Amino acid sequence: MGLPERKRTATEARLAGLTLPTGGWAEPARRDALSRVTAMGLPQRRDEYWKYTRPDSLLDPEPPRAALLEQGGELVFESMDRLKIVFVDGVFDPEASDALELEGVTIDRLADARDADIHWAKDFYGVLEARGQTPVERPFAAMNTAFATDGVIIHVTGKPSKPISLIYIHRSEHSDAILHHVVRVDRDAEATILENGPAAARFNKCMEIDIADGGILHHVRAQGRDHERRAVTHVFARLGRDSVFKSFTLSVNGVLTRNECVIELTGDDAIAHVAGACVGDGDFHHDDTVFVTHDAVNCESRQVFKKVLRNGATGVFQGKILVKEGAQKTDGYQISQSLLLDEDSQFLAKPELEIYADDVACSHGSTSGAIDEDALFYLRSRGVPHGTATDLLTLAFLAEAVQEVEDEALAKDIISRLENWLARRR
């Protein structure tokens, strides 16, 4: 079946500027991904899955310009003891990074893949991304697998003593970066991965996470300080028996962000939590698209997304819980809420349930509205100034999402970022 003319031309135009890295163990997977993306075509404005987010600027052959923001003040996670891996405009920077050595984990570069024909990641690279293409197509992820120029391949074998921190730095106003990471967590191993930074003017990132039985992975990410950048990111996670995956994303600004998270619970008793707090001001469009598949018994999934929007900012949430036949005793929860601080902002949501098993408890909720006048009045009657009261209520609103971050120091760091954001806008 051929693609519609318009889609085919747009896809060809976007892919024309990219070169498929050749040689080494990743090449077959890259070629498969290329045929996937050419068969699907890249998203167009009228595609149902892109109903609320315009993919146009992600399709331009040339990335739109994004001004560099001066890096004033301390960056997020900076005070933490961590293993730093730095990418500048999508290229690994060995000078700025720590040595890629840490007990309980091995780390390789994807860019080195061309030097070897055999690597453990050969059986993982592009596999979860390919699985994640049904029932909904995610063409930018396939494009990423095909054309990613760099990234890290992390094998967690034990319990490393500190988090692995991926730092993305944006130096060129026209950079267009494609990064692909693979994370494999062995049986009963446990690790924390942090991500932060603007990365590039346009950023396409994909992370495939495979967690074996009993494995635990914490993923905390901060997207911010990069108002003009555009990003499309994917997380694909597959969870084995008794494993745990917890992912939290803080998003502050960004003219276009589309974060997709695709989780598959394949082992019994697994737990997956995805949460996000986002604050947007002005020319801001933020889209969280989550797809959780329950394919095992007695699993738990939670999706908690909170958005604070002002000055015409747009927040989008598309969440889905799919419970397959036989996935009994599923506990699925999903909440998406927005706080609209003024009348120009908007919230567009599509929280879905698709359930084929009867012994389940699944629920979702979605609300949208302004700050509660009664609560505001109460605080003011206690002598709290209007601005402080609004900030307090806004923080309280975001708290449910931030609570999903287990590490206290990390959670504190995130809250202070939110406080700063609010204070700057007072």
The reply to whether 363 sits near another protein by the rule CB under 8 A is: yes
Cβ nearer to another protein, comparing 112 with 352: 352
Cβ nearer to another protein, comparing 149 with 366: 366
Cβ nearer to another protein, comparing 64 with 315: 315
Q: Which of 17, 23, 61, 326 binds another protein (CB under 8 A)?
A: 326
Q: What angle do CA 345, 347, 351 make, to 5 degrees?
A: 175
Binding mask 343-362 vs another protein (x if CB under 8 A, - otherwise)? xxxxxxxxxxxxxxxxxxxx
The reply to whether 18 sits near another protein by the rule CB under 8 A is: no
The reply to whether 377 sits near another protein by the rule CB under 8 A is: no
Cβ nearer to another protein, comparing 113 with 339: 339
The reply to whether 342 sits near another protein by the rule CB under 8 A is: yes
- Distance in angstroms (rounded) separating the CA atoms of residues 387 and 89: 38
Q: Which two tokens stand for residue 227?
A: 């108002």
The reply to whether 78 sits near another protein by the rule CB under 8 A is: no
- The residue ranges of DSSP E strands in 240-386, in sequence order, are 244-252, 256-265, 271-281, 285-294, 300-310, 314-323, 331-340, 346-355, 361-369
Cβ nearer to another protein, comparing 371 with 415: 371
Question: Least separation, in Å, of the C-beta of 18 and another protein?
Answer: 32
Q: Which of 78, 123, 325, 419 binds another protein (CB under 8 A)?
A: 325
Q: Which of 109, 131, 162, 364 binds another protein (CB under 8 A)?
A: 364
Amino acid identity of 401? A
Tell me whether strands 152-156 and 105-109 are parallel, antiparallel or unpaired.
antiparallel
Q: Enumerate residues 39-58 that contact another protein by CB under 8 A.
A: 48
Cβ nearer to another protein, comparing 51 with 65: 51
The reply to whether 201 sits near another protein by the rule CB under 8 A is: no
Q: Which two tokens stand for residue 104?
A: 């309980």
Cβ nearer to another protein, comparing 326 with 385: 326
How many other CB atoms are there within 10 angstroms of residue 86's CB atom? 18
33: nearest Cα among 146, 133, 198, 121:
146
Question: Least separation, in Å, of the C-beta of 248 and another protein?
Answer: 23
How many other CB atoms are there within 10 angstroms of residue 73's CB atom? 8
- Residue 387 · residue 272 · CB < 8 Å: no
Question: Least separation, in Å, of the C-beta of 41 and another protein?
Answer: 18
Report helix, strand or coil for 190. Answer: strand
- The residue ranges of DSSP E strands in 170-254, in sequence order, are 176-185, 190-196, 202-211, 216-223, 230-239, 244-252
Question: Least separation, in Å, of the C-beta of 68 and another protein?
Answer: 32
Question: Least separation, in Å, of the C-beta of 276 and another protein?
Answer: 17
Half-sphere exposure of 166 (CA within 13 A, CB side): 30
The reply to whether 126 sits near another protein by the rule CB under 8 A is: no
Contacts of 120 (CB under 8 A, 6+ apart): 155, 184
The reply to whether 340 sits near another protein by the rule CB under 8 A is: yes
The reply to whether 338 sits near another protein by the rule CB under 8 A is: yes
Question: Least separation, in Å, of the C-beta of 419 and another protein?
Answer: 22
Contacts of 36 (CB under 8 A, 6+ apart): 130, 133, 139, 142, 146
Report helix, strand or coil for 202. Answer: strand
Cβ nearer to another protein, comparing 316 with 410: 316
Size, binding site for another protein by CB under 8 A? 36
Cβ nearer to another protein, comparing 101 with 359: 359
What is the contact surface with another protein in residues (CB under 8 A)? 48, 325-326, 328, 338, 340-370
